[in-house]
Amino acid sequence: MIDFYTWPTPNGWKVAIALEEMGLPYAVHPVDIGTGAQKAPDYLAVNPNGRIPAIVDPEGPDGAPIAVWESGAILQYLARKTGRFGGSTERMRIGVDCWLHWQMGGVGPMAGQAHHFLKYAPDPIPYAQDRYVAETARLYGVLDRQLAGRAFVAGEEYTIADMAIWPWASLWEGQRHDLDATPHMARWLEEVGERPAVRAGRALLAERRRDPTSKPNEHLHPSRR
Ligand SMILES: N[C@@H](CCC(=O)N[C@@H](CS)C(=O)NCC(=O)O)C(=O)O
C-alpha cells in the first residue's frame, strides 16, 4: 500500500491518475495546503520542498521504504516500478521524457502563475496576467500541433506524459485560454478525460477543493458540457 500525500490540485491529480491507471493500492493522506500543512515538520520529512504531491512506497527498489516527491519524478518512478505507461520502446520513452519535462518546466509553472495572477493576487497586475496567459497559450499551441495526427502526446500510446499535462490543461478556462484555437487539444482533453482512472483521480478529495465553482467536466468545451 503506497502512502499518497496530496491535495486536489493539478499536481496532485497527476499522481492520483497514475495510481488509478496502474491499479496500485494507496492510502490517501490529505495535506491541506490552505492551512500550511505542507510546511509541517512531519511532512517535510517526506518532501523537503514542502509541497504536494509526495508518496512513500513501503517496497522501494531495495525492499526498503522510499519517499518520492516532485510529481514528474513520482510518475517516472511509478512507470518504472510497474513497467507501464512509460513508453514501450526507447524511441517512445525519449518522447515521453521530452513531453514530461516540457510539462514540468513549462505548462505547470506558467499556468500556475496564470492562475495566481488571474485569481489569487490581491491586486490585479495586468502585465503579469497578460504575460502568463500568453505564455500558457503559446504552450497550448505547441501541444495542439503535436496532437494533430497523434492520439496522445508522445504518439499512439497513452503515457505518463499525458497524465502530467492533462490536469493543468483541463483548467484551460481559468487560464483564459481560447480552446477554439486549439481543436486537437480539445479533442485530447475530452478523450483522456473520459478514462475511468482520470475521472477517479480527478474526483479524489474533490469536496475539499478551494474553488467551489470547479466542476469535473470543466475540461470540456462549453458546447460539450
Ligand atoms: N514541481 C512541484 C510543484 C508542486 C506544487 O507546486 N504543489 C502545490 C499544489 S499544486 C503546492 O503544494 N502548493 C503549496 C505551497 O506552495 O506551499 C511538483 O510538480 O510536484
Q: What is the pLDDT of residue 213?
A: 59
Indicate the pTM of the whole model: 0.96
Residue-wise pLDDT tens digits, 77-94: 999 999 999 999 999 999
Residue-wise pLDDT tens digits, 113-165: 999 999 999 999 999 999 999 999 999 999 999 999 999 999 999 999 999 99
Closest by CA position to 169, among listed 147, 139, 196: 139
Report the alpha-carbon distance of residue 109 to residue 121 in Å, rounded.
Answer: 16
Residue-wise pLDDT tens digits, 8-49: 999 999 999 999 999 999 999 999 999 999 999 999 999 999
211 lines ligand 1 (CB under 6 A): no
How far apart are the CA of 60 and the centre of ligand 1, in A?
23
Report the alpha-carbon distance of residue 32 to residue 209 in Å, rounded.
Answer: 10
Strands of the 66-69 sheet, one edge to the other: 26-30, 2-6, 54-57, 66-69
Site to probe by mutation for ligand 1, drawn from 52, 110, 115 as the one with most ligand atoms within 8 Å of Cβ, is 52
Domain 2-82 belongs to what topology?
Glutaredoxin (3.40.30)
In sequence order, the 6+-apart residues with CB closer than 8 A to the CB of 145 are 184
Residue-wise pLDDT tens digits, 151-165: 999 999 999 999 999
Q: Domain boundaries in the chain?
A: 2-82, 90-224
Residue-wise pLDDT tens digits, 160-202: 999 999 999 999 999 999 999 999 999 999 999 999 999 999 9
Q: What is the pLDDT of residue 225?
A: 87
Check if the beta carbon of residue 31 is closer than 8 Å to that of residue 5: yes
**Is the CATH code 3.30.420.10 the one for domain 90-224?**
no
Q: In the chain, count H helices and then E strands.
A: 9, 4
Longest dimension (CA), the chain: 52
Per cent of the chain over pLDDT 90 is 93
C-alpha grid cell for residue 18?
497514475
How far apart are the CA of 91 and the centre of ligand 1, in A?
30
What count of other Cβ atoms lies within 10 Å of the Cβ of residue 11?
A: 21
Q: In the chain, what are the helix, strand and coil shares in percent, each to the nearest 5?
A: 55, 10, 35
Residue-wise pLDDT tens digits, 44-80: 999 999 999 999 999 999 999 999 999 999 999 999 9
Check if the beta carbon of residue 13 is closer than 8 Å to that of residue 199: no
